[in-house]
Amino acid sequence: MIEMKIENDIKFDFSDVLLRPKRSTLSSRSDVSVIREFKFKHSGRTWSGVPVISSNMDTVSSVEMFKALARNRMLTCFHKYINIKDVINVCNSNENECYTSDYFILSTGITDTDFENLKKQVSILSENNIELKFICIDVANGYMFKLIDFCKRIRELLPSVTLIAGNVVSREITEELVINGKIDIIKVGIGSGAVCTTRLQTGVGMPQLSAVMECADAAHGLDAAIVSDGGICHPGDLGKAYGGGADFVMLGSMLAGHTECPGEILEENGEKYKLFYGMSSDTAMNKYHGGVASYRSSEGKTVKVQYKGDVQGTINNVLGGVRSTCTYIGASRIKDINKCATFIRVNRQVNTFYK
């Protein structure tokens, strides 16, 4: 008889818990600092800013989004198909002192072609006096041996660049990426994105809060950091992610549908929309690869997001929620949310009488 391998301990998403309020010396949300400073383990670089990153999706992370987020000292993770010359034009425009490589991340896959394309991008940036500071080595399945090998190649090529890699959801691979891959920030999350269908298509994944807690515990023990990627539906979810140990939080769907997002505004029955789709969706693969390869299937969907206007309103709402979280649990800064957080397991998060 084959023994079934089942983990019986319960795993949690953000919607499964609430944060317990605690006595606080803070008298106003304005007393809370949303700035964090990091020194990264392998690159040796320091970075200061708001630990929020836009997802590397081509319906979110445009150069216009970069400009908006940089003004708020947040990071933009460009998708790997970004026109690097557009990025250079913004950085060299002298329009704003925040439009620098301190606030953008280049993405790459793990093929030889991706490696050569990344080298070209780095060379073009260097020729224009822009020093690349962040790279995201991004694959849907971070458990492939090839990812570790690719991380080593990038670290050898660019020893002083802060490297992000994923996606993963468990302790062992987090530790391997930090120790053997020389990665500074581990990207955590499989199947938790709003337009991701990986869990339905493959049956693989882990609830996001539990994944964050497990990977953060592993990474922090090795002086590395993590970014929680996926599952953020409301501003309060950022507080829960930080409470679970996330150092950075990545936003996709919350930033979708804004003026700064690429794509035309669509109008239907007097309502305005923008398209938002996963980078493993039919839409993305048709756009960049000429279709879905015969050996794989789509693991993303395409949706119409109601047009939201300028992204600054959403940024204010997100940061207002984080500051409020801090005042409720007695944390004077984002960095302290983790040590001040106590989670309560709940059966229902909100009253849905009025929907």
Local confidence pLDDT in tens for the 355 residues of the chain: 567 788 889 999 999 999 999 988 887 888 899 999 999 999 999 999 999 999 999 899 999 999 999 999 999 999 989 999 999 999 999 888 999 999 999 999 999 999 999 999 999 999 999 999 999 999 989 999 999 999 999 999 999 999 999 899 999 999 999 999 999 999 999 988 888 888 888 889 899 999 999 999 999 999 999 999 999 999 999 999 999 999 999 999 999 999 999 988 999 999 999 988 877 666 766 666 666 665 566 566 788 999 999 999 999 999 999 999 999 999 999 999 999 999 999 998 888 898 7
Nearest to 242 by CA among 331, 156, 122: 331
pTM flag (> 0.75): yes
* Residue 8 backbone phi and psi in degrees, to 5: -90, -15
Residue type, 150: F
Please give the distance of CA 346 from its chain centroid, rounded to a whole number.
Answer: 26
Find out whether 162 and 40 touch, Cβ atoms under 8 Å: yes
Predicted confidence at residue 133, as pLDDT, reads 97
Domain map (residue ranges) of the chain: 37-344
Catalytic residue among 77, 91, 151, 196: 196
DSSP E strand stretches across 191-342: 225-229, 248-251, 266-268, 271-277, 302-306
Among the four given CATH numbers 3.20.20.140, 2.40.110.10, 3.20.20.70, 3.40.50.2000, the one describing domain 37-344 = 3.20.20.70
Give the bridge partners for 226, in sequence order. 186
Predicted confidence at residue 298, as pLDDT, reads 59
Predicted confidence at residue 138, as pLDDT, reads 93
CA gap 242, 344 in Å, rounded? 15
CA gap 134, 164 in Å, rounded? 8
Residue with tokens 């984002």: 334
Predicted confidence at residue 276, as pLDDT, reads 87
Predicted confidence at residue 13, as pLDDT, reads 96
Buried/exposed 250-270: b ≥16 CB within 10 Å, e otherwise: bbbbbbbbbebbbbeeeeeee
Nearest to 54 by CA among 67, 40, 36, 69: 69
Find out whether 244 and 212 touch, Cβ atoms under 8 Å: yes
Residue 205: count other Cβ atoms within 10 Å of its Cβ.
Answer: 18
Predicted confidence at residue 285, as pLDDT, reads 64
**What is the number of residues in the chain?**
355
Predicted confidence at residue 197, as pLDDT, reads 80
CA gap 215, 267 in Å, rounded? 42
Residue 166: count other Cβ atoms within 10 Å of its Cβ.
Answer: 28
Contacts of 131 (CB under 8 A, 6+ apart): 101, 125
Find out whether 105 and 75 touch, Cβ atoms under 8 Å: yes
Q: How far apart are the first and last CA of the chain?
A: 49
Predicted confidence at residue 49, as pLDDT, reads 98
Residue with tokens 């606080």: 24
To the nearest 10 degrees (0 to 180), the angle between helices 208-220 and 235-243 is 40
Predicted confidence at residue 297, as pLDDT, reads 60
Q: Does the active-site annotation cover 196?
A: yes
**Beta strands at 52-54 and 248-251: parallel, antiparallel or unpaired:** parallel
Residue with tokens 């996001």: 208
Residue 39: count other Cβ atoms within 10 Å of its Cβ.
Answer: 12
Predicted confidence at residue 287, as pLDDT, reads 65
CA gap 290, 288 in Å, rounded? 6
Backbone angle region of 149, left / alpha / beta, with phi > 0 → left and psi within -120 to 50 → alpha = alpha
